[in-house]
Structure 1
Amino acid sequence: MPSLRSLPFPDPGVPDVRSGFRFLLWMEIRQWRGQAVAAAWGTLHLAAVACFPAAVGMAVQAVIDGSGSRLALAGALMLLLGVLTALGDTMLHRTAVTNWISAAARVQQLLARKTVELGAVLTRRVAAGEVVAVSTGDVEKIGWFVEALARFTSALLATVGLAVALLFYEPRLGLLVAAAVPVLALAVLPLLPSATRRADLQREKAGKATELASDTVAGLRVLRGIGGEELFLDRYRSASQEVRTAAVHSARMWALISAVQVALPGLLLVGVAWYGVRLALDGRISVGELVTVYGAVGFLMLPLRNFQEIAMAWSFSRPSAKRAARVLGLRRTVADTVPGGPDAAGTGPLSGELHDPATGLRVQAGLLTAVVCGDPDAAGVLADRLGGHSPQAVGGEVSAELGGWALDALPLAVARSAVLVQDKDPVLLSGTLAELLDVPSSGRVAPAEALAAAQCQDVLDALVQSLVGPDAESGDPMRARITERGRSLSGGQRQRLALARSLVTDPEVLVLDEPTSAVDAHTEARIARGLHEIRAGRTTVVLTSSPLVLDRADLVVFVDGGRAAASGRHLDLLRTDPRYRAVVTRDTDDGDGAGAGAGAAAGARAGEGNDGHASAEDRDGAPAGEHVPPQSGSTQKESA
């Protein structure tokens, strides 16, 4: 039997996710020892309770017969049964709760392992609200069914045993009870399908409400900026009322099932009492025997409640197990390993050229390569594919290759250690700045260097101002706490801290999707310079259309129509490729003169600071004559 001290499990196992039923069956098999122990204690508890009517009947008959010795024996028997009842109930509760917690912990470990395996692909394959529902409510319902099955087993054994015992003890009344027990146990079956449908509807609406709430909270800053709080609040109120209505509708059916479970045993009890009294008046049974049978029938209401519980647990856990199996059944790779390829032990580190067969993009090792996509939506898909994240998620496209090895066919640890992808909306976890930057790394780049390259000095100053207590006296920004998802920071500050975290990791290949989209022009120019310097000798891919970043790249590749259409230096492509110039300058006129004029005008605007005078590069001490490339449309401002 598992102990809570052994949690978490060293290995939660490999679940059977072919269906929800098979997943529940696998859970039961994995915990069969704990289930057997709980069923044994439950059987002892119910058997002791079931024997109490016999002891009471013996005492009543002893009083009628005036037998002091039998009365004393009955008293001793009741004392023993009381001890056994208390022992069985205590141990049953202990083992059942242990089974529940163990089952829930196993499912949570499986979900955590799957989340780590899939990474960002998970929320593209499954809605975020469903993931939250599985990891919270569904985990509890699955654990409930696992531990309830042991109590049901003991209730079934006690019910069958009591019916058989009554047949031998008093055949006439025992036959009536034995015939009625199957009816009592199966009477609620016609009501279960309707109860299950109502419960499923309730869970579906609850999942939608949870997803709406999580999305609203995540976008609260934006909603406040556009005054949309009330609109989304009204939507959540409406969704919440739908959940309430569905819950009441479901509760009514379960209340009817409970009423049936109480009414039918009550009618049986009345029938046994009426028939037993007639037998006693005729002298065919003794008063003690009547009391024993009456008490035994009254006992049946206890195990029958376990029958109702297992029906409810099955109804609630079946869809929960189905959802859990669907999430756990997701696969990132088409194969776990490639024979002879690099392994997790690091005996064959990945390096070399990064190649995307889908677009024909080739990224030379050790260079800073910028990629401009004619379709902005294609950039995120390309970034995922370059990291080996989404070959199955985007319709079975072939995986990117690094050094000749397909990333989606390599062990996860190998692919992750070689290629790091930072998407355009990186997440900052809550904790101190030191904890944020405490990530697996090569050790080549210190946190201070990464923060400097990402131009985080103003962020550090703001974090110092937020220090309180003893931390404020130290003035160390590494002790400052960052709230969940970095909500206390601006969009540009979050973006730069995420970039610093990626630079600290220092992977062999770093893929950045629009890493400077939320910062102003002169900060963007300094980031581009710092990125080029700190990643010298490392392979870096930046998906961007910012001229300030493109001008710093060793090579620019233009992807148009799903294929790598042109490559070269930024200024050369501006002069020679009208399609590239139109994307970078946001100019719909492909004419050479118009495009060049737009680029020159944009360049003049990029050279100006916020006050409209000297460029930020000049104010920050850039070398004289350093080129500031053309900037698109209007100067970008750091988002609030």
Structure 2
Amino acid sequence: MHGFSQYTEPWDVMQIRDLPYPDPGVPDVRSGPRFLYWLGRNQLGGQLKSLSWGLLHQCGVAGLPLGVGLAVQAVVDRSGRSLALAAGLIALLGAAVALGDTMLHRTAVTNWITAAARVQQLLARKTAELGSALTRRVAAGEVVAVSTGDVEKIGWFVEALSRFAAAALTLVVVCVGLLVYQPALGVVVAIGVPVLALAVLPLLPKATRRADAQRELAGKATELASDTVAGLRVLRGIGGEDLFLGRYRDASQQVRRAAVRSARMWALISAVQVLLPGLLLITIVVYGAKLTLDGRVTVGELVTVYSAVTLLLYPLRHFEEIAMAYSFSRPSAQRAARVLSLERTAPAPGDEAPARTPALVPDEPPSGDLYDPATGLLAPAGLFTAVVCGDPDLAGRLAERLGGHATSDTAAPDTAAPDTATPDAATDADAPGGTPPSALLGGVALDDVALITARGAVLVQDKDPVLLSGTLAELLDVPASGHVSAADALDAAQCEDVLAALAQTSADRADDPMRTRITERGRSLSGGQRQRLALARSLVTDPEVLVLDEPTSAVDSHTEARVAAGVKRLRSGRTTVVFASSPLVLDQADQVVLVHEGEVAAAGTHRELLHTDPRYRAVVTRETAAEDAAKAAIPGAMEHGVREEIEESA
């Protein structure tokens, strides 16, 4: 159900000092326009406040010609009393203009900032909810584009809406006032002003399409730039900088050409809004002069009407602005709605994504054996379980599912070939929304407990962990049980060389590596160093269950063996699940489970499975079927190979 949060009333006037929102609410993400409407409705009090000050300001501006006309007529009539009254009216209107303009600016900026802040809070909440699944569903560059430029454009439209409403009401008031004040000229104004306001409507669809095309190309260029910067280290290694630089140059030129085409259309709209008011003014002057010569209109009335039409150009500008704001904010709102509509559990085709609000009060954390019904994987409580899976993508999805609230990447039932379907695939398709059943911890479905509770019970570290910028002490300052110190975690993860390298670059005179600043995503460190620091961060938290996806894939074999031994020692008595295929890690495990084609195929120790299961041996030793058959044909060859493998592992 789409609507307001229980903490937000539509008539509340949010102040900047009150940010962030206690709860930004549940957005309507069915489309971009619906999302914009939801934002405007959620700050209705601020919109009405801005509308009130806008009316005071613009009606004050529109009333000035009346004071000027009365003053001119007073001079013509040589009436000092009328001149004094006209001066008083001008002074009063000037004060109203100043006050209205000041307060309108304050309220309009408040509406802009609070709308943008609400969108940013919603994006931050969705990012925290999706976790690592976000970048598999949406490109990182698109997330950056939405949370920066798109947020500003959405805020611009929400802010401009109240000023446009004030301008439209002012035009109505002025036209009605001129009809009453001077009917002969007022009829011309009443007919001409709506024509001026609506003349650009035929041009808006084309301008909007060009603006959409520009925004789409700009978004793609941002995605390309973000992905290129993220992979710059790899690109330099393969000599691909020039290739990707050329691609970005082409993308940026496409954006430039699209921006020029869009600017031409908006320039045409601006020209129309300058030309037509000019023609209206000429008509007023010519027709008014004729009426004045005929004695039907006084000089003061002609000055009043002319001045009023001149000042009407100011509120008319808001029609162009609201059109531009909507055309630029609509695709931005559509992108934001697309990101905010993502759910960890995908709905069935044709079903609307359910609106979820993360639980604020954590449930009692479950404990016990970790079990995945989809594959049959069982990780006994308190043991070190290693999982071998020949498909890295399947391993990543399984690791995420073990953490609860996992995203379903299962294809729709009609896209899978019937002869390739497995029993597990059928089970997955029968599950609600076509998603695999939830992992169980101590018999409790992790998807049924609050997300924050599931994250506290099971911590999943994927194969590409992110290090945020900050000092090493800040990196390790995470919510934890307090039973594992930072020193013990760093020692178990074999970070001695990392600490030494950080000490050399430390800004602290005592060469304290804990106070050394780590750059964004740890780009100043090698892949193995980043991986071990991320592992140390996970070990510090000391969760009930720790799931590690290839935690040593970027380190050398000697370090890998020490890391595996250190993790087993530090996690003694706690449940640990490691997805790996390295014998050095597998030999440390209390239990090794082989997952083949989406289900558990074998379980035992590393040495037992090497002897008994050729599928396990093929994954772990990278041995082909032909090599396996050749060894089987030579008596004792298999045992000798296994013995060598075990000795290397030890």
- The two structures share one fold, judged by TM-score above 0.5: yes
Following the alignment from structure 1 to structure 2, what is the Cα–Cα distance between the partners of residues 566 and 321? 50
Deviation at residue 401 of structure 1 after TM alignment: 1.7
Pick closer, same or farther for the CA change 1:540–1:79 going to 2, 3 Å. Answer: same
Provide the aligned C-alpha RMSD in A: 2.0
Checking the alignment, whether the CA contact within 8 Å between 1:367 and 1:540 is kept in structure 2 is yes
Instruction: Report the counterpart of residue 628 of structure 2 in structure 1.
Output: 590
Equivalent residue, structure 2, for 1:176? 188
Counterpart-to-counterpart distance in 2, 1:201 and 1:487: 34
In structure 2, which of residues 43, 58, 61 is the aligned counterpart of residue 49 of structure 1? 61
Contact 1:15-1:26 within 8 A present in 2 as well: yes
Determine if the alignment matches structure 1 residue 439 to structure 2 residue 478: yes
Unaligned runs of 5+ in 2: 1-12, 348-352, 412-434
Match of 1:237 among 249, 253, 269: 249
User: Does residue 216 of structure 1 match 2:228?
Assistant: yes
Counterpart residue number, 1:16: 28
CA displacement 1:385-425 (0-9 Å, x = unmatched): 11124343434222222122222232101110011111111
SS of 2:649's equivalent in the other structure is coil
- Aligned partner of residue 38 in structure 1, secondary structure: helix
Which of 464, 468, 474 aligns to 2:503? It is 464
Query: Following the alignment from structure 1 to structure 2, what is the Cα–Cα distance between the partners of residues 514 and 601?
Result: 25
Residues 266, 531 of structure 1: alpha-carbon distance in 2 compared, 3 angstrom cutoff: same
Q: SS of 2:600's equivalent? A: strand
Alpha carbons of 1:603 and 1:69: their partners in 2 closer, same or farther (altered >3 Å)? farther
2:387 is matched with 371
- Residue 535 of structure 1 and its aligned partner are, at CA, apart by 0.7
Matching residue of 2:420: none
In structure 2, how many angstroms separate the alpha carbons of the residues matched to 1:167 and 1:71? 24
Quick check: 2:39–2:115 contact (8 Å CA) kept in 1? Answer: yes
The answer (yes or no) to whether the contact 2:611–2:642 under 8 Å persists in 1 is: no
Contact kept? 2:364, 2:453, Cα under 8 Å: no
Q: In the alignment, which residue of structure 2 is the partner of 1:155?
A: 167
Matches within 5 A, 1:423-438: 423-438=462-477
CA contact (8 A) 2:492 2:570 kept: yes
* Structure 1 residues 28-39: aligned runs within 5 Å: 28-39=40-51
Partner of 2:429: none
Residue 97 of structure 1 and its aligned partner are, at CA, apart by 0.6
Corresponding residue for residue 528 of structure 1? 564
Secondary structure, counterpart of 1:590 in structure 2 = helix
Q: Is the aligned partner of 1:207 residue 2:227?
A: no
8 Å CA contact 2:133, 2:407 repeated in 1: no
- Measure how far apart 1:73 and its partner are: 1.9
CA distance in 1, matches of 2:296, 2:643: 111
User: In 2, are the aligned partners of 1:332 and 1:408 still within 8 Å (CA)?
Assistant: no
Quote the offset at 1:592 in angstroms.
7.1
Aligned residue in 2 for 1:620:
none
1 CA distance for matches of 2:346 and 2:448? Answer: 6
Amino acid at match of 1:382: L
Deviation at 1:93, TM superposition (A): 0.8
The answer to whether residue 617 in structure 2 is matched with residue 578 in structure 1 is no
1:360 aligned residue: 376
Corresponding residue for 1:351? 367
1:635 aligns to what? none
Given the superposition, is the C-alpha separation of residues 233 and 602 from structure 1 closer, same or farther in structure 2, using an over 3 Å criterion?
farther
Give the conservation status (yes or no) of the 8 Å contact 2:469–2:518. Answer: yes
Task: Tell me the distance in 2 between the aligned counterparts of 1:255 and 1:401.
Answer: 61
Which residue number in structure 2 is paired with residue 108 of structure 1?
A: 120
TM-score relative to the length of structure 2: 0.89
Q: For the residues of structure 1 that align with 2:291 and 2:588, how far apart are their CA atoms? A: 102
Residues in 1 aligned to 2:440 and 2:214: alpha-carbon distance in whole angstroms: 46
**CA offsets 1:468-519 (integer angstroms, 9 cap, x no match):** 2xx1x22221111110000000010000000000000111111111101111
Distance 1:414 1:600, change over 3 A: farther
Q: Does 1:322 align with 2:334?
A: yes
Amino acid at match of 2:587: D
Is 1:269 the counterpart of 2:281? The answer is: yes
- Corresponding residue for residue 293 of structure 1: 305
Q: Is the 8 A contact 2:369 2:441 kept in 1?
A: yes
Structure 1 contact 440–505 (Cα < 8 Å) conserved: yes
Which of the numbers 501, 517, 521 marks the counterpart of 1:481? 517
Q: Residue 25 of structure 1 aligns with which residue?
A: 37
Q: Which residue of 2 aligns with 1:64?
A: 76
Identity percentage of aligned residues: 69
Query: How far 1:212 sits from its partner (Å)?
Result: 0.6
- Separation in 1 of the partners of 2:596 and 2:630? 19
Q: Is the 8 A contact 1:53 1:291 kept in 2?
A: yes
TM-score by length of 1: 0.91
Equivalent of 2:269 in 227, 243, 257: 257
Shift of 1:165: 0.4
Tell me if 1:539 matches 2:575: yes
Code of the aligned partner of 1:525? A
Q: Is 1:416 matched with 2:455? A: yes
